Structure 1
Amino acid sequence: MYYLGDLANTCKLGLQCYSWLMTSVDPLLEERCRAGGDTVCGETEAYAVAKELMKTWPHTQLPGFDFPIEWSNIYCAREETWYNDLVIEAFTTTLSAKYGKNKTIFLPQVQLPGTNEGNRVPEATRAALEMTTEDYIFLPINLNSSHCACIVVDNFKGALMCYDSVDKRTHQKLLQAIANEIISSTLTGFA
């Protein structure tokens, strides 16, 4: 019984995502096409995704990712919604693939708050931070399983920056503590 309720909710979210694609994104892509001088633009990327979304079972794996992400995971992709962890991971994976030859690296997401204060950043993340030669390192941070923020390591300037779309003091304090932990344990030459 729960499965049917969950499936009905999933399908509702899929329809909301479809509606957002067709009413908000598709017109923008059409406008961009026409601004480029084309008179007949054909099928936009948004329409192609929306069409695929409607004909694919929600629990079908999305192609092109080396981790399990289903179509239903991207149903949250619309305005004024929180993105789930898999969407954030898919986004950083997509950016890594697109800008792979760039001087940027995306590390796997860190889940916070950790219980061991002063040792919250996983050892694998610390090792990656120490060994990388890229100019910029993006470290997505999952705060309290409810919100994503990002710490950016600027190796060129020797600085860390914290980005958070929600300007909450508790988030800022936690991000600052993580940044200080990274600087004191891994990137000791940073300010």
Structure 2
Amino acid sequence: MKALPLSNTSEEAIALYDEADTQKAQKKASEDNLTETVIIKEVGCFSTKQIETFKRIQNLKTAVQLGLDMHKWLMEEGLPALPAEYHALAKQVADEVLKTYPYTQLPGLPNIQDFQFVLLYRATPPTWLSDAAIRALFTKSKKTRSTDLNQVEESTLNRMLHQVGERGVDVVMLPLNFGNAHWCCVVVRVKAKRIFYYDPLNQSAYLQPAGDIAKHIKIRGLYGYDVLPETNPIQFDAFSCGVYVCWNFIRQAGAGTPVDMSVNSLPRRRFELFYYLLTGRLLTKDGSATAADDDEEKIPVPQDEDGEGDEDDVPQTQIAQ
């Protein structure tokens, strides 16, 4: 008897299936090939992958529209609010907005999805600044320093106290967001030993909780610090709280003088904030407007024969009669 030239090895096993096993295998294979679809009446059938693609395109369309609105605002409001020497820079920035893909990573920031070019579009009023924009400002403003202390992964309060104790730290800022609708902040000035709390609206509904947080920080470790409110500048609209908080931090971190945050100057402040988030650099103070104010002719105050007014003789604590 001759043996057939076949073998049933483990590598090439010969398996026998009955009809039931074959039907199960065919059913499983057909289930693996199934595609989830969404049926839209009078439109058509679309797979899940197609729906996700449509959503990404819609998000991109929204981002592009925000970018176009940003370009329009830069040219129509941002540029006129700047001194003449910055007009060329404003046009250059506006051109960069047009040619840059919205999801391009911003230079000088961590390579994460939050820090993309699209977050700059939120500098256009009346759009609110997102928490990503606030964190981007802090990252840009942060000074790199060498330290022997490792970063402590603890609660926000403990991290603040840790940073206050680090060598070379002068300003620590804690942004506060209430109800995902309003920005406030607490600022610790280490050398001055003061804790400031600031609400752009200067309303008790936000100012009091911010003050409570500042006092809690004092009680938890900064006993020798004074807790003081900041009441200026005042926000005059319903959507610029993030801009005011960012400029408060820029002024505190740079130890600079307060800038004009009035309704006429806010377009310029928004442009400067946009430019700072983009480049990490602040524009210099406007020389043209300051020079014009200094050169303006002023009518001298009338003086009496002795060269002093009667009101000068009245002490400050009394009322002139």
| Residue identity matched to 2:182 | H
- Report the counterpart of residue 58 of structure 2 in structure 1: 5
Give the counterpart letter for 2:102 in structure 1. Answer: P
Change beyond 3 A, Cα 1:78–1:177 = same
Please list, as runs of the form range in 1=range in 2, the aligned pairs for 1:137-156 lying within 5 A after superposition.
137-156=172-191
Matches within 5 A, 1:28-177: 28-29=81-82, 31-33=83-85, 44-68=88-112, 69-96=115-142, 121-177=156-212
Q: Equivalent residue of 2:81, what SS?
A: helix
Identity within the alignment, %: 27
Moved over 3 A (4+): 132-136
Q: Which consecutive unaligned segments of at least 5 residues does structure 1 have? A: 34-40, 102-119
Does 1:23 pair with 2:76?
Answer: yes
Determine if contact 2:172/2:187 at 8 Å carries over to the other structure. Answer: yes
Q: How many residues align?
A: 163
The Cα RMSD (Å) is 2.6
Q: Is the 8 A contact 1:130 1:186 kept in 2?
A: no
Give the Cα separation in 2 of the matches to 1:13 and 1:71.
11
Structure 1 position 181 matched with structure 2 position 227: no
The Cα offsets for residues 78-128 of structure 1, whole Å up to 9 and x where unpaired, read as 23331111211222333335xx79xxxxxxxxxxxxxxxxxx744222311
Gaps of 5+ in 2: 1-53, 146-154, 227-321
- Match for residue 117 of structure 1? none
TM-score (norm 1): 0.72
The amino acid of 1:124's aligned partner reads R
- Counterpart of 1:143, as a letter, is F
Query: Compared with structure 1, are the counterparts of its residues 153 and 132 closer, same or farther at alpha carbon in structure 2 (3 Å cutoff)?
Result: farther
Question: For the residues of structure 1 that align with 2:216 and 2:166, how far apart are their CA atoms?
Answer: 17
TM-score between both structures, scaled by the size of structure 2: 0.45
Deviations 1:4-33 (A, max 9, x none): 32222211111111111111222333x341
